[in-house]
Amino acid sequence: MANDRRGDVGEGQPPARELLSSADVARTIARIAHQIIEKTAFGPGNTADLVLLGIPTRGAVLARRLAAAITEFTGVAPAVGSIDATLYRDDLRRGPARALVDTAVPEGGIDGKLVVLVDDVLMSGRTTRAALDALSDEGRPRAVQLAVLVDRGHRELPIRADYVGKNVPTSRAEKILVRLTESDDRDGVLIERPEAKPAEPTVGAAAKPAEPTVDREERG
Amino acid sequence: MTDLLITNAKPYGEEAVDLLVRDGVVAEIGTGLTAEGVGTLDAGGHVLLPGLVDLHVHLREPGGEESETIETGSHAAALGGFTAVFAMPNTDPVADTAVVVEHVRRRGEEVGLVDVHPVGAVTTGLRGEKLAELGTMVSSAAQVRMFSDDGRCVNDPLIMRRALEYASALDVVIAQHAEDHRLTGGAQAHEGAIASRLGLAGWPATAEETVIARDVALAREAGAALHVCHVSSLHSIAVLRAAKAQGVRVSAEVTPHHLLLTDGRLTGYDPVNKVNPPLRTGADTQAMREALAEGVIDVVATDHAPHASQYKDTEWAAAKPGMLGLQTALSVVIHTMVEPGLLDWHGVAQVMSERPAEIGNLPDQGRPIAVGEPATFALVDPDAQWTVRGAALASRAANTPYEGMRLPGAVVATVLRGRITARDGKVVA
Amino acid sequence: MKHLLSIADLDAATATGLLDTASRLKDTLLGREVRKLPTLRGRTVVTLFYEDSTRTRVSFEIAGKWMSADTINVSAKGSSVSKGESLRDTSLTISAMGADCVIVRHPASGAAHRIAGWADKDAGTTGTHTSIVNAGDGTHEHPTQALLDAATLRERLGSVAGRRIGIVGDVLHSRVARSNVLLLSTLGAEVVLIAPPTLLPTGVAEWPCRVAHHLDAELPALDAVMMLRVQAERMHGGFFPSAREYSIAYGLNERRLALLPEGAPVLHPGPMVRGMEIAPAVADAPNAAVLAQVRNGVHVRMAVLYHLLAGAPE
């Protein structure tokens, strides 16, 4: 997750600006839910096909929220679960061994299904790539789509989201912080601009040095 | 050549004096002494002791020259302040015949740094089955005065009885490695909490205590002199005290490592700490110090046991037991006995020179520092501190358990019958 | 985690982390057609066994293969070991060939510690890094066995903390018992060793456990019982008079099974001596967790390899 620049802010960090309020998050999730319904034709009489799989931790929370919203709008509940991509990551060797998190594939599996992968932030695309690999070891879906709350750019792989809550142009040095009440104190999306102190290197930054724009933005 | 003027030396740490040596014998003691055409040794106000005597060393020659030779061992001895050492017979071939003991004695004389007294085997091949030719070794040119199967115990009570009886007529001492092998099969470490946690088969203290109890009874009946090697267990002390109270002719030694080191060092499985008998507990080391101060244990002997790295840089079970001791012995005794006030310098002279010479039947070692006595000394700087480095020791092997340790007291010079054998950390050839 | 040499090196959090990883790996692979994870692709794992142990070696080998590590087995027999090469030279040679992890089984207690020490010293000069896993050293420890036992107990009992676990039999010669006493007490269980005094080590009083000699008296209050293998040849060392008398006093038979609380799991590290420490009917009873232990062994060893090899070298 570190390469997607989300995660918790420590104490004493520079103040973060709010991109999405709690109400914005709710609206965004509702909008994505509608888009999924529209695009997949999910509804009474067509429930067998759709599986929402969140990438832990916050992607799994979002998947459950999306499932709840879809249930509210259609009256029927889609299958929902989570898939841990840790064992498929390409950056394991760049840090201490990561703890694994639960994979919960809903009963019925994913073979022949339309799987919507759900994550909170899309950046390099490497987490999505790992999740796709994990998915292919779990079974053979009919098709896979991707839903994200925030797309912040800086892609390093040919990966594109099918559903995007908000596009946020960012510099690599910035941090996007997604907060969800299930795992944090409240809902919201924050952007954090580092002070003069350069951010610690990440997989993305290490693979490709930050563009000069970073400095300009930081000075601005 | 064996005339020497030693100035500003403090015998037993007392008043500084000068000593004039003529023909290896102290001719005059006083202050402001001068002599023409005589070598001088400025003692710098350091402590002068009678040359140290070690009843228990392994010089590995013949047969184990990859670990030590009589020459390298003599270097280590001279540098450690020793003027006489007793070389144990567990060589290859075993020193169980006049031929082998004479060879050891002659090699010692050729090197000429320290009196090397071969210890003869009690039984042929150290097998504990049949007495070796003790009488022949006694009357040989090696003049053997001590016999031992060290490394192995004379386990059979009947053989031990016969050895003591036979030795009593020869006026020699039997030095027993007290270990009931039936109780120590496969033993790797002191039997206790640490060995149990480390999964190392235990060497129970009772294996030592029971053999000592048996042997003092046998020695009493035979009227023979028994010497107990490397006492390590606190329970053995009570047995020795009772035997001495009964008038049994028994003496006992403790090694420097059993005065200082405990089985707590075993947790990393470094075989440099593997030794037989094994390092025991803090209660045991404390009991050893008190028994040495009290005199229940008579002497300190090093059990200097060099092993080349291929015998030590192995898994614990495969490693040979034993550790270097000659160059660190005095420092460890200063650290464990002198600094806590358990022994003064007279006491050190007694446990490391006078009493060992007496037990080993050496008339010209361990003598008082006095006119008419042999000029055989160890000169000690008690205030010096040094860091032990195995690679820097004179022995062929480097298996010192004190690696990296800072120890007090340094041997400044060693003098054997008026001849300087070591000075300022260097052998004087 | 750099090496896994002794359970004593694991605190409760690290041990729990390993068990959590093992259980998630188990869930991940459950029911999959393709039981292969790419996690350790390009890593080389060597098992270096100086004792025969098909069970442990195969378990490690499967664990490595399921994680996509290249797994190579070196048996002491038929290798340079039989030519008299020292343990130090053999282990350093394997490290030098590029092994990321060497899994060692050796009859000498502390052998894995020594190999780790040599490897670390060598790493200081060559910059290579080899993790050492103790797969059983003499009568010292068998850490992955204790971890798989704890994993099995967690599955069967829900948790280990606060449970009372009996370990019965030849504690003196058992590396399994040593590792289990340390791990189970670290995880908050109460451990009771039940054996005749001859099969308990001197110094056991200082272990973090209780010692008892009468099995019948302890069974009703145990949450689980672990039977240790008793080698019949021990009676020649005088540790007990006969296999028959041992079996009568310490064997787990059907009568004794009934003394245990209902459903209390019965563990055995294997290989079992049926009719000696465990009656055949008990070994095949629903309580018996022996095959569950074996299954968990693979996942626990995958977890160990994951924690040692997946992250950046320390």
Q: What is the pLDDT of residue C78?
A: 52
Residue A84 has a pLDDT of: 94
d(CA B207, CA B184): 7
> Average of pLDDT values for B326-354?
98
Annotated binding site of C for L-aspartate: 83, 175, 229
Give me the pLDDT at residue C238, please. Answer: 86
pTM of the predicted structure, to 2 decimals: 0.91
In this structure, what token pair is assigned to residue B270?
């470094």
Give the residue on B whose Cα is nearest the Cα of C5. B268
B192 closest CB neighbour out of C87, C178, C203: C203
Question: Could you tell me if residue B3 is inside a domain?
Answer: no
**Averaged pLDDT score across all residues of chain B:** 97
**Residues of C in Cβ contact (< 8 Å) with A92:** 39, 310-311
Q: Is some CB atom of chain B closer than 8 A to the CB atom of C122?
A: no
Residues of B in contact with C203 (CB under 8 A): 191-197, 202
Interface test with C, best of B198, B233, B310 (most C CBs within 10 A): B198
Question: Is residue C17 less than 8 Å (CB to CB) from chain B?
Answer: no
> Ramachandran region of residue A90, left (φ > 0), alpha (ψ -120 to 50) or beta?
alpha
Strand-pairing partners, residue B4, are B21, B39
Catalytic residue status for B303: yes
Phi, psi of B146 (to 5 degrees): -140, 140
Q: Which of B270, B303, B313, B424 is catalytic?
A: B303
CB A172 within 8 A of CB A211: yes
Q: CA A96 from chain center: how many Å?
A: 22
Residue contact A99–C17, C-beta within 8 A: yes
Same domain, C46 and C77: yes
Distance from CA of C223 to the nearest CA of A (A): 28
Residue B11 forms part of a structural domain: no
Would you say residue C2 lies in a domain? no
Inspect the interface and report whether the beta carbons of C175 and B199 lie closer than 8 Å: yes
Is the Cβ pair A88, C37 closer than 8 Å?
Answer: yes
Q: How many domains does chain C have?
A: 2
Number of structural domains chain B divides into? 1
| Residue-by-residue pLDDT tens, chain C, 314 positions | 899 999 999 999 999 999 999 999 999 898 787 889 999 999 999 999 999 888 999 999 999 999 999 999 998 765 555 568 899 999 999 999 999 999 999 999 999 999 999 999 988 777 778 999 999 999 999 999 999 999 999 999 999 999 999 999 999 999 999 999 999 999 999 999 999 999 999 999 999 999 999 999 999 999 999 999 987 777 778 899 988 999 999 999 999 999 999 999 999 998 998 989 999 999 999 999 999 999 999 999 999 999 999 988 76
Specify the pLDDT at position C82.
58
- Give the residue-averaged pLDDT of A69-89: 94
Closest-CA distance, A137 to chain C, in angstroms, reads: 6
Mean pLDDT of B87-94: 98
Q: Pairing state of beta strands C70-75 and B426-427?
A: unpaired
* pLDDT at position B193: 95
How far is it, in rounded angstroms, from Cα B91 to Cα B229? 18
Query: With an 8 Å Cβ cutoff, are A96 and C17 in contact?
Result: no
| Complex ipTM value | 0.94
pLDDT at A215: 30
Backbone angles phi, psi at B281, to 5 degrees: -95, 170
Using a CB-CB distance cutoff of 8 angstroms, which residues of chain C are in contact with residue A98?
A: 310-311
Residue-level pLDDT at B429: 79
Mean pLDDT of A2-14: 47
Where in the sequence is the domain holding A73, given as residue range(s)?
2-219
Token pair, residue A189, equals 């999306």
Instruction: Give domain status of residue C1, yes or no.
Output: no
Q: Residue B276 pLDDT more than 70?
A: yes
- Beta pairing class for B426-427 and B419-423: antiparallel
C205 lies in which domain range?
143-291
Taking an 8 Å Cβ-Cβ cutoff, which residues of chain A contact chain C? 84, 87-88, 92-103, 133, 137-138
CATH of the domain at C161: 3.40.50.1370
**Is the CB of C310 less than 8 angstroms away from the CB of A95?**
no
CA distance linking residue C293 with residue C270, whole number of Å: 10
Contact C86, B314 (CB under 8 A): yes
Contacts C308 to A, Cβ<8 Å: 97
Write out pLDDT tens, residues A180-210: 998 888 899 999 887 655 544 443 333 333 3
**Co-location of C124 and C250 in the same domain:** no
Tens-digit pLDDT profile for residues C106-115: 999 999 999 9
**Residue B30 exposure: Cα atoms within 13 Å on the Cβ side:** 7
Domain CATH number, residue B149: 3.20.20.140
**d(CA C118, nearest CA chain B) in Å:** 9
Using the beta-carbon criterion (under 8 Å), do C310 and A102 form an inter-chain contact?
no
| Residues 6 or more apart in contact with residue B158 via CB below 8 angstroms | none
The pLDDT tens digits of the residues spanning C281-292 come to 999 999 999 999
Same domain, C111 and C122: yes
Structure confidence at residue A100 as a pLDDT band (50, 70, 90) = very high
DSSP three-state, residue A148: strand
Among chain C residues, the shortest Cα distance to A90 is held by: C39
Task: Name beta bridge partners: A148.
Answer: A119, A164
In this predicted structure, what is the pLDDT of residue A36?
A: 95
Residue B423 in domain: no
Residue among B53, B115, B49 at smallest CA distance from B353:
B53
Total number of domains in chain A? 1
pLDDT at A218: 28
pLDDT single digits (tens) B14-35: 999 999 999 999 999 999 999 9
Is B257 or A104 the better-scoring residue by pLDDT?
A: B257
Report the distance separating Cα C148 and Cα C291, nearest Å.
11
pLDDT at A213 over 50: no
**CATH number of A34's domain:** 3.40.50.2020
pLDDT computed for residue A206 by the predictor: 38
Q: How confident is the model at residue A212 (pLDDT cuts 50, 70, 90)?
A: very low
The sheet that has A143-151: what strands, in order across it? A79-82, A50-54, A114-122, A143-151, A163-167
Q: Which run of H or of E encompasses C94? A: helix C87-96
Which residues of C fall within a CB distance of 8 Å from A110?
none
Residues C157 and C18 reside in one and the same domain = no
- Percentage above 90 pLDDT, chain B: 99
pLDDT of res. A45: 84
How many B×C Cβ pairs under 8 Å? 75
Q: Is B307 annotated as a binding residue?
A: yes
> Does C65 lie in the same domain as C116?
yes
Range of the domain at B55: 50-359
The answer to whether the beta carbons of residues B116 and B103 sit under 8 Å apart is no
Q: What is the mean pLDDT of residues B167-174?
A: 96
Burial of residue B287, with CB atoms counted within 10 A of its CB: 0-12 exposed, 13-18 middle, 19 or more buried = buried
What is the pLDDT at residue C80? 55
Q: Does the pLDDT value for residue A1 go beyond 50?
A: no
Best mutation target, C14, C20, C24, C37, to test chain A (most A CBs within 10 A): C24
Secondary structure element (H or E) that encloses residue B39, with its range: strand B39-42
- Total length of chain B: 429
